[in-house]
Chain A
């Protein structure tokens, strides 16, 4: 049973525009959420995270929004750049610390120059 879902397998965006990647989860015990970026033949690299006590976290061009009541989070990238083209994974865990992560299936973002 997939506890973290990314329903859009792919997304194409023009350079300079906003990219919005979505993620839904089912487990109400999840308390900490992360976005990872993955290039081919590399491992996932951490991008940004958010705790359930917040509804927004911003880091440069990247902002993550959390709607706990809807069990939904989204990653906004603005402005999008060609180097942002990668697969983005949403992940969740019951708490911070050394806990295993539950991943979505990923969204492949293509930023068109």
Chain B
């Protein structure tokens, strides 16, 4: 596709429910990032993939957060037993071979998660 897409765009979950957030990166982009943006804050790094390999997960806030990218394209961020503090916008970004592109990550529109 032309850009990074994310689904769902909005998700309301009851506390304790599991959720799965999907990211479709720009075709051919090998690097994929997940960020969490709390209300009034800037995005904060969660995890990074290069192809299917998860090279950095240092930003995941707890073991309830899990991300995967099994075939090196689509990625899923899963949050188990959601808590109210998980309410945020979850942004996905991709970055690829940049012979003609600027040195930047391209962001999707985000998934806004509200945990009640």
Contacts and interface: CB of A to CB of B under 8 A. Distances in A.
Interface of A: 4, 6, 32, 34, 36, 41-46, 49, 89, 91, 96-98, 100-106
Contacts of A4: 42
Nearest to B48: A100
Given A100-B45, A103-B42, A105-B40, A43 B108 contact: yes
Interface of B: 4, 30-31, 33, 35, 40-45, 48, 50, 56, 59, 91, 93, 95, 102-110
A102 B40 contact: no
A47 to B, nearest CB: 9
Contacts of A98: 30-31, 48, 50, 95
A101 B43 contact: yes
Contacts of A32: 103
A7 to B, nearest CB: 13
22 contacts: A6-B42, A32-B103, A41-B109, A43-B4, A43-B93, A43-B110, A45-B107, A46-B105, A46-B106, A89-B43, A91-B42, A96-B103, A98-B95, A100-B33, A100-B48, A101-B43, A103-B43, A103-B44, A105-B40, A105-B42, A106-B41, A106-B42
